[in-house]
Amino acid sequence: MIKTEKLVMIPGPTPVVRSIQDQMGRPTVAFGDAGFVADFKQLVLDLNEMWGAEQSFVIAGSGTLGMDMALSNTTKAGDNILVCTNGAFGDRFKKMCLRKGLNLDILAADHWGTSVTAEMVEKKLAEKKYAAVTVTHVETSTGVVAPIAEIGKVLAKHPETIYIVDAVAAAAGVRSNLAEMNIDVLLTCSQKAFGVAPGLTILFASKAAFERRKALGELIPEAYADFEEWIPIMKDPSKYWGTPAVNMIWALKESVRIIKEEGLEERYDRHIRIAKLFDDALEAIGFKVAAEKGFRAPTLSVYLYPESEHVDDAKFRSLVGAEGAQVAGCLGAYAGIGFRMGHMGNIDKHVMIGAVAAVERACIKLGMTVQPGAALAVMQAGLAKED
């Protein structure tokens, strides 16, 4: 057989469609080029509107820069901060907060596979005043989605507290809106549900976030991450602060065009439907979805190996890769006992079938008791109902 092309089915990067690749392959122009400036400006306006934000930022960087920016612009050393965590990515905020000299309280999900709830946040906020609260929308280590809208209702009763949402593995795949959900800073990046290659930090901020930034004084310790430096550029991209990632910005603009063509709401609904299809297909061949019912993310899943099969994790994932789909290993409590699969962004029926087929073939090659086509049958039945 000739070598099978590998689909990128990890929780980011996600498959990049041809029209987005084409934007990355365009001849690069000067960042002051009139056509580019107009494209950048329109992209920022579209993002503001689509996410109900006072201002969006598109900056060269990864999701981690967004986390840093969120904290840097809304808190100062000595402030109280509440970090809500449902797993390894929620935990990433901890060390960042300690670096910045924040007084850190942790609110953790009862156990991996579930989420911190709005009631839990409400109780914490009644006990103590916090400068900011962080929530991870989709926890990439567990495949759990947090109730960000319900938590937003609690935060609405605490206007002194800035509400930060890490929506890296969610935005453009799971519903989020700053104005509707009382969110002050929502951060993401290009390589997850936007379906663009890695390289861009995308951050949305509210008026209250800007007021907080102003209250921190003229100079915060960070330069590249400072809202105040970037706001004039995002309003008028002909100005200069740091060179914009010209081709990546075009790529993101194409991604936003695709999202608008599909419709944001339809895109969110589609992610819910396809997550259910992946989960049902994998369950049909003995895998267990790690996230509990009611907490399952539309963008990625953790699939635990059938206990009776004693699967060699590294061998399994390498076989799935060889069969045509790159999947990711698990972290923390799930390390070694399952794998992570992204199912977000611009994935079509070919990709979905190809990914499930690769998992099935790997199972068969490993000698697991899997009926050829059992998972595919479930996926096919579901996809046949889709237009």
Ligand X SMILES: *Cc1c(COP(=O)(O)O)cnc(C)c1O
Q: Which residues bind ligand X (CB under 6 A)?
A: 11-12, 62-64, 89, 136, 140, 166, 168-169, 189
Give the shortest CB-105-to-ligand X separation in angstroms.
Answer: 20
Residue 268 backbone phi and psi in degrees, to 5:
-65, -45
Q: Which pair of tokens denotes residue 309?
A: 């099969």
Give the shortest CB-66-to-ligand X separation in angstroms.
Answer: 8
Give the shortest CB-215-to-ligand X separation in angstroms.
Answer: 27
Nearest to 368 by CA among 301, 304, 310, 313: 310
Give the shortest CB-189-to-ligand X separation in angstroms.
Answer: 4
Of the pair 117, 140, the CB lying nearest ligand X is at: 140
| Rounded Cα gap, residues 213 and 196, in angstroms | 30
Of the pair 193, 319, the CB lying nearest ligand X is at: 193
Distances (CA, A) of 252 to 191, 194, 272: 10, 8, 23
Give the shortest CB-172-to-ligand X separation in angstroms.
Answer: 13
Give the shortest CB-87-to-ligand X separation in angstroms.
Answer: 9
Q: Are 20 and 196 in contact (CB under 8 A)?
A: yes
Of the pair 37, 252, the CB lying nearest ligand X is at: 252
| Rounded Cα gap, residues 197 and 372, in angstroms | 34
Measured from each CB, the residue nearest to ligand X is 63
List for the chain the helix, strand, coil content (%; round to 5).
45, 15, 40
Of the pair 169, 282, the CB lying nearest ligand X is at: 169
Q: Which run of H or E residues covers position 225?
A: none
Q: Omega into 13 within 30° of 0, i.e. cis? A: yes
Question: How many alpha carbons fall within 13 Å on the CB side of residue 39?
Answer: 23
Question: CB within 8 A of 384, min separation 6: which ones?
Answer: none
Of the pair 55, 136, the CB lying nearest ligand X is at: 136
Of the pair 168, 378, the CB lying nearest ligand X is at: 168
